[in-house]
Chains A and B, each alone.
Chain A
Amino acid sequence: MITLLEARSIGKRFGGLQALTDVSLTINKGEVYGLIGPNGAGKTTFFNVLTGAYTPDGGEFVFNGSELPVGKPHRIVGRGIARTFQNIRLFRDLTALENVMAGHHVRTKAGVWGILTQNRRTREEERLTTQRAYELLDYVGIGRFAEVVSKNLSYGDQRRLEIARALATEPQLLALDEPAAGMNATETAQLKLLIEQIRHDGVTVMLIEHDVKLVMGLCDRVAVLDFGKKIAEDVPFEVQKNEAVIAAYLGGGKHAH
């Protein structure tokens, strides 16, 4: 098994709140890796540190054998990590197509000179970007909405568009932050198929999710965070039986999902 991402002792503190303590984990190429835990356990913080939105206070990420740059989100995207957001964050006034094309920005090169002269390379690049964007919209199943301004899409379609935009960056690791949040059973089932397809097409997936059924059915391995610490990491079946995990979820009284 080849290691794709290794998090080494990641720590993050917000004032008096230790959001992440010494979190280490390893994601292998080609797997679907789940990150679960009660609300406030630090899952999204972990995503934010990984993708460069926050600077970690300690530790480092090794991706594909070399360390990730700190505090340069666009360079981390360039290295091959893309994400979606728990609360949808599309470019609301851009069309679905433009959102996906914007995601492809990091893989294209046309500079000011190319754009001013509209040379052949620039035009070819733009044509390929457009074509790829249409393909990705079809891939996530919203091809017919390409020209729709994204804020006018339905909630489920906006979630799909976020995935298409993330895929447009050509990631090796796709980090999905609660992709099923707010979806009904049918939409969740379709999402599961989509994630399986993405994995099948060679992209490693990291998943934060509250829908236990989805996590257990989809993930190869699961890590559990509680109060910013990793308390378990195993295959789903074992994690479900882990006493520390049960305590974390049930200990608070009402966290059975």
Chain B
Amino acid sequence: METLIQQLINGLVIGSVYALIALGYTMVYGILGLINFAHGDVLMVGALTALQTMMFLMGVAPGMSPIYMLTIALMVAIPVCMTLGFLMERLAYRRLRNAPRLAPLITAIGMSFLLQTIAMIIWGRNYHTFPQLISTTPLQPIEGVFITPVQIIIIVASAAIMIGLSLLVTRTRIGRAMRATAENHRVASLMGVDTNAIIAFTFVVGAALAAVAGVMYASNYGIAHYGMGFMPGLKAFTAAVLGGIGNLGGAMLGGIMLGLVESFGAGYIEHLTFGFLNSSYQDIFAFIILGLVLIFKPTGLLGERVSDRA
């Protein structure tokens, strides 16, 4: 029983992070039909920028309270990633908007390599310890079940961000323009929507989410390095496909579900395979799911109309 609740908590934590990243994938896909494979690397840039900021702060103001330090680190990482998202769209993807679909896809993969290489040049090839500023001493709400304050913050903050994003998209002027652009950007522009601005805005919002997710991810695992964006990026992509790519609710649902499956899988895989596989094989679950979804329900759980985009 304790194991069950424990895996539920772990799953929710990592699932929230996947959901935040998946939202970035799905928003961009929804509006452009582009799978931005460099999205995971934006997360990496966010985490490493935050790390760099914290190192700097520890140097100049060693006595600073950890909460302030983390807040400032986020305040630096978010705009850096937003700028990065904006530049990627402006310099690379916009030129390819009317190109065959393969061109932007390959460009996205190239962009991913580019960001990783730049990060490797700046931050080196080593794993960095990500300072765990918020207490990682686990609380024990139930006997035998542990949850750290970082994990609580991750769950609460992700939920708040997701609610905010839903309100933005469904209730506001910009959200309406985003949905109109997603449906048909030529018609949207003929109806007075500055679609270039809306598309840029979408990239920027997605990048901001990735920055937050990057800091969460690095805080949770306590490490950061130039290649750290690859795996969560791929898994969040899986989550977006699972939920139905292009669908915001789907990305949230898919992210949480993937986190849960992974966490339960990791918890029980040893029993299920009679000790043949252990929890370090947890990564296979995401890709088993990706395979199954693509075979049996390629539109995802909540998606309906991928076919007319793909």
Give A residues with C-beta under 8 Å from B: 51-53, 73-74, 77-78, 82-83, 85, 89, 91-94, 98, 101-103, 105-108, 110, 112, 115, 125-126, 129, 165-166, 169
Contact of A83 among B177, B190, B194, B195 (CB under 8 A): B190
CB distance from B29 to the nearest CB of A (A): 15
Given contacts A77-B191, A102-B193, A103-B192, contact A53 B186 (CB under 8 A): yes
Contact residues in A for B192 (Cβ distance below 8 Å): 74, 77-78, 82, 103, 105-107, 169
Contact residues in A for B190 (Cβ distance below 8 Å): 51-53, 73-74, 77, 83
CB distance from A103 to the nearest CB of B (A): 5
Contact A129 B173 (CB under 8 A): yes
Contact A102 B186 (CB under 8 A): no
Contact of A126 among B173, B180, B187, B194 (CB under 8 A): B173
In the bound assembly, the distance between CA atoms of A72 and B227 in angstroms comes to 40
Contact A91 B184 (CB under 8 A): yes
Given contacts A89-B184, A93-B179, contact A126 B191 (CB under 8 A): no
The 3 closest A-B pairs by CB, nearest first: A106-B192, A77-B192, A73-B189
Contact of A105 among B173, B187, B201 (CB under 8 A): B173
CB distance from B160 to the nearest CB of A (A): 13
Contact of B195 among A74, A92, A108, A115 (CB under 8 A): A74
CB nearest neighbor in A for B173: A110
Contact residues in A for B297 (Cβ distance below 8 Å): none
Contact A94 B195 (CB under 8 A): no
B188 interfacial by beta-carbon distance below 8 Å: yes
CB distance from B144 to the nearest CB of A (A): 42
Q: Which of B157-201 contact A (CB under 8 A)?
A: 168, 172-174, 176-177, 179-180, 183-184, 186-195, 201
Contact B191 A103 (CB under 8 A): yes
CB nearest neighbor in A for B197: A74
Given contacts A74-B193, A83-B190, A102-B193, contact A115 B173 (CB under 8 A): yes
Question: Chain B interface secondary structure, helix, strand, loop or mixed?
Answer: helix
Contact B183 A91 (CB under 8 A): yes
CB nearest neighbor in A for B187: A89
Contact B188 A102 (CB under 8 A): yes
Contact of B173 among A74, A108, A169 (CB under 8 A): A108
In the bound assembly, the distance between CA atoms of A125 and B171 in angstroms comes to 13
CB nearest neighbor in A for B190: A73
CB nearest neighbor in B for A101: B176
Contact residues in B for A101 (Cβ distance below 8 Å): 176
Given contacts A73-B189, A83-B190, A105-B191, contact A92 B183 (CB under 8 A): yes
Contact of A112 among B174, B184, B187, B194 (CB under 8 A): B174
Known: A102-B180, A106-B193. 12 other contacts (CB 8 A): A53-B186, A73-B186, A74-B190, A74-B192, A91-B183, A102-B176, A105-B177, A105-B191, A106-B191, A110-B172, A115-B168, A129-B173
In the bound assembly, the distance between CA atoms of A91 and B174 in angstroms comes to 15
Contact B173 A91 (CB under 8 A): no
CB nearest neighbor in B for A77: B192
CB distance from B56 to the nearest CB of A (A): 28
Contact B173 A94 (CB under 8 A): no
Contact residues in B for A73 (Cβ distance below 8 Å): 186, 189-190
CB distance from B89 to the nearest CB of A (A): 16
Contact B180 A91 (CB under 8 A): yes
Contact residues in B for A108 (Cβ distance below 8 Å): 173
Contact A94 B191 (CB under 8 A): no
Contact residues in A for B183 (Cβ distance below 8 Å): 91-94
Contact residues in A for B176 (Cβ distance below 8 Å): 94, 98, 101-102, 105
CB nearest neighbor in B for A166: B191
In the bound assembly, the distance between CA atoms of A83 and B183 in angstroms comes to 18
CB distance from B229 to the nearest CB of A (A): 26
Contact B174 A115 (CB under 8 A): yes
Interface centre among A98, A102, A106 (most CB of B within 10 A): A102
Q: Which of B191-237 contact A (CB under 8 A)?
A: 191-195, 201
Contact residues in B for A129 (Cβ distance below 8 Å): 173
Contact of B194 among A52, A74, A107, A166 (CB under 8 A): A74
Given contacts A82-B191, A103-B191, A105-B192, contact A126 B172 (CB under 8 A): yes
CB distance from A80 to the nearest CB of B (A): 10
* 8 pairs, CB–CB < 8 Å, chain A vs chain B: A73-B189, A82-B192, A91-B180, A98-B176, A102-B188, A105-B180, A106-B193, A115-B168
